[in-house]
Amino acid sequence: MKNVANIKLAAQGRKNIAWARSQMGALLTVEDEFKKKQPLKGYVVGMALHVTKETAVLVDVLEAGGAEVVITGCNPLSTQDDVAVALHERGTKVWAWKGETHQEYYANLEAVVAELKKAVKQGKKALTIDDGCDLVTLIHQKHTDFIPSIVGGTEETTTGVQRLRAMEADDALKYPVVAVNDNKTKHLFDNYYGTGQSTIGGLLRATNLLFAGKTMVVIGYGSCGRGVSLRAKGMSAEVVVCEVDNLRALQARMDGFRVMPILEAAKVGDVFVTVTGNKHVIDGVHMKVMKDGTILANSGHFDAEINIDALKKLARKVTQVRPSLQEFKITDGSKEKNLYLAGEGRLVNLAAAEGHPSTVMSLSFCGQALALQYIVEHKHELQPGVVVLPGKVDDDIAARQLTAMGIKKDSLTKEQARYLTSWQAGT
Ligand SMILES: NC(=O)c1ccc[n+]([C@@H]2O[C@H](COP(=O)([O-])OP(=O)(O)OC[C@H]3O[C@@H](n4cnc5c(N)ncnc54)[C@H](O)[C@@H]3O)[C@@H](O)[C@H]2O)c1
């Protein structure tokens, strides 16, 4: 079975991993501790994460902590082939390449489960790391016999946590999974600054578009949508936000953006970015009223946000005009128009670019590594279900990042700490 792409890419992969390490100081402090404490000795970690240079650094950290790691991607278009090859060459078990078919994607997840089972037979205990919940779902649908051997798992993203909570509500989740996305040091940084910047990066690489003077429609004003809107504004685009949640729609307006229903926005937007975690938020009915030349992109986890089947149905011709850009030629009555789809509707920051900057992934992956340590240390208390880490883990990660950035800050005096926890003193 194929494991990775062209082995000749390994040297570039090693250089890219080294570059990522140079930006991930906070995570390297966890690596130093793991080397000494070996918290993951005797464990095998099965990962389904975007196989990027930053993920390779997380693999370094887990291996330094004593774990055996087996890894596949969590999206058919997000693997950085040079990184996957470098991991494979140095002996980490990896199944991932950019451009996997649907079948290959699931075969690779199965390969990870098979390796986990093999390692458990040899006496190891299993942990999982997921991004989007496909690995956990596969295990719960097809490998239920193996579940008792799994001590716990972690989940990286909003969509994955939503799926886990749905499993929990159905009483279907059979082992504890830490919602790393719920760490403040994850969604307030990775989703906000990371997705904000890298979505613009993906759009730029796919189109080389001038943002100034464009109307950019951001659909979903959550952690990611807020970041994307802010960055687009910084590039001098006019930003329009579409939301279904009252509070977030209000927040978007008060942050200075126009808010309108998607059907109205469809008529005025030049560029559309979906970041909802939902399905078909851009549908055929919207595509029909869009302007000639409109660009569509998604930065939410799955390629379900833009109804690509509807787009294909409307089009009489589809052309790959650039590496990450398809043109859909649509005849509308007597008029012709072109709509453009970036990154095949898969998360544009990873499909068309390199994903989040390493520094922001350092925060997220401190969360992943410390979550695994937490599961191992608390394995006798944890129940099946979604687990949220105590706030002190977030505080610890933020402190590591401040130190890595060379930032000093103030601390409360004893008197101030007392004042903040007392009620007697008033005006
Ligand atoms: N591209 C990346 O690298 C990356 C990084 C982090 C998260 N994500 C993914 O991005 C997506 C969004 O994550 P988030 O943390 O911002 O989630 P969130 O829950 O904070 O925000 C999602 C927002 O979308 C809104 N929404 C839902 N359906 C809608 C609809 N039909 N129309 C308009 N708005 C709608 C919700 O009301 C909510 O405010 C998820 O799929 C997540 O997994 C991607």
**Long-range Cβ contacts of 381-387 (<8 Å, 24+ apart):** 382/152, 382/176, 383/176, 384/173, 384/174, 384/175, 384/176, 385/168, 385/173, 385/176, 385/177, 386/161, 386/164, 386/165, 386/168, 386/173, 386/177, 386/179, 387/152, 387/176, 387/177, 387/178, 387/179
In a domain, 249, yes or no: yes
Confirm or reject: Cβ of 157 under 6 Å from ligand 1: yes
Q: Are residues 209 and 271 in the same domain?
A: yes
In a domain, 385, yes or no: yes
Distance 300 CA to ligand 1 centre (A): 6
Q: Per residue in 226-243, pLDDT tens?
A: 999 999 999 999 999 999
Confirm or reject: Cβ of 349 under 6 Å from ligand 1: yes
Q: Per residue in 146-194, pLDDT tens?
A: 999 999 999 999 999 999 999 999 999 999 999 999 999 999 999 999 9
Q: Are residues 239 and 339 in the same domain?
A: yes
Distance 225 CA to ligand 1 centre (A): 7
Contacts of 403 (CB under 8 A, 6+ apart): 25, 26, 29
Write the CATH number for 23. Answer: 3.40.50.1480
Question: What residue owns the CA closest to ligand 1's atom 15?
Answer: 223
What's the rounded Cα separation, in Å, for the pair 3 and 92? Answer: 11
Distance 174 CA to ligand 1 centre (A): 26
Q: Are residues 260 and 399 in the same domain?
A: no
What's the mean pLDDT in 317-330? Answer: 97
Give the range of the structural domain holding residue 335, as residue numbers without chain letter: 192-351
What's the rounded Cα separation, in Å, for the pair 406 and 401? Answer: 9
- Tell whether the model's pLDDT for residue 282 goes beyond 90: yes
Distance 133 CA to ligand 1 centre (A): 15
**What angle do helix axes 10-22 and 358-377 make, rounded to 10 degrees?**
80
In a domain, 409, yes or no: no
Write the CATH number for 214. Answer: 3.40.50.720
Q: Are residues 157 and 221 in the same domain?
A: no
The whole-number pLDDT of residue 231 equals 97
Question: What residue owns the CA closest to ligand 1's atom 19?
Answer: 222
In a domain, 316, yes or no: yes
Q: Are residues 292 and 392 in the same domain?
A: no
In a domain, 426, yes or no: no
What's the rounded Cα separation, in Å, for the pair 208 and 25? Answer: 32
What's the mean pLDDT in 377-381? Answer: 97
Distance 106 CA to ligand 1 centre (A): 24
Q: How confident is the model at residue 7 (pLDDT cuts 50, 70, 90)?
A: confident
The ligand 1 atom nearest the CA atom of 276: 24
Q: Are residues 289 and 164 in the same domain?
A: no
The whole-number pLDDT of residue 333 equals 78
Ordered strands of the 150-155 beta sheet: 93-95, 68-72, 43-48, 125-130, 150-155, 176-179, 385-387
Q: How confident is the model at residue 1 (pLDDT cuts 50, 70, 90)?
A: low
Confirm or reject: Cβ of 300 under 6 Å from ligand 1: yes
What's the mean pLDDT in 55-82? Answer: 97
Question: What residue owns the CA closest to ligand 1's atom 10?
Answer: 300
Q: Are residues 130 and 239 in the same domain?
A: no
Q: Are residues 183 and 199 in the same domain?
A: no
Q: Are residues 129 and 220 in the same domain?
A: no
The ligand 1 atom nearest the CA atom of 199: 1
What's the mean pLDDT in 40-67? Answer: 98
Mean pLDDT of the chain: 97
Confirm or reject: Cβ of 39 under 6 Å from ligand 1: no
Q: How confident is the model at residue 225 (pLDDT cuts 50, 70, 90)?
A: very high
Contacts of 131 (CB under 8 A, 6+ apart): 48, 49, 50, 74, 155, 156, 157, 160, 301
Q: Which residues of 172-214 form beta strands (DSSP E)?
A: 176-179
In a domain, 411, yes or no: no
- Ligand 1 pocket test target in 301, 303, 305 with most atoms within 8 Å of CB: 301
Domain end marker among 351, 378, 413:
351
Distance 158 CA to ligand 1 centre (A): 7
Q: Are residues 29 and 82 in the same domain?
A: yes
In a domain, 423, yes or no: no
Question: What residue owns the CA closest to ligand 1's atom 38?
Answer: 222
Confirm or reject: Cβ of 347 under 6 Å from ligand 1: yes
The ligand 1 atom nearest the CA atom of 220: 24
The ligand 1 atom nearest the CA atom of 281: 31
Contacts of 331 (CB under 8 A, 6+ apart): 316
Q: How confident is the model at residue 335 (pLDDT cuts 50, 70, 90)?
A: confident
Domain count, the chain: 2
Q: How confident is the model at residue 426 (pLDDT cuts 50, 70, 90)?
A: confident
Distance 8 CA to ligand 1 centre (A): 37
Would you call 325 helix, strand, or coil by DSSP? strand
What's the mean pLDDT in 130-139? Answer: 98
The ligand 1 atom nearest the CA atom of 299: 1
Q: Per residue in 75-117, pLDDT tens?
A: 999 999 999 999 999 999 999 999 999 999 999 999 999 999 9
Q: What are phi and psi of 70, to 5 degrees?
A: -125, 135
What's the rounded Cα separation, in Å, for the pair 60 and 361? Answer: 14
Q: Are residues 299 and 396 in the same domain?
A: no
Q: Are residues 156 and 260 in the same domain?
A: no
Question: What residue owns the CA closest to ligand 1's atom 1?
Answer: 299
Which residue stretches of 123-191 are H helix? Answer: 134-142, 158-169, 184-186
Distance 121 CA to ligand 1 centre (A): 39
What's the rounded Cα separation, in Å, for the pair 427 and 425? Answer: 7
What's the rounded Cα separation, in Å, for the pair 202 and 89? Answer: 28
What's the mean pLDDT in 250-255? Answer: 98
The whole-number pLDDT of residue 48 equals 98
- Tell whether the model's pLDDT for residue 145 goes beyond 90: yes
Residue type, 2: K
**Single pTM value for the model:** 0.95
The whole-number pLDDT of residue 173 equals 98
Q: Are 367 and 392 in contact (CB under 8 A)?
A: no
Confirm or reject: Cβ of 368 under 6 Å from ligand 1: no
Confirm or reject: Cβ of 242 under 6 Å from ligand 1: yes
- Tell whether the model's pLDDT for residue 4 goes beyond 90: no
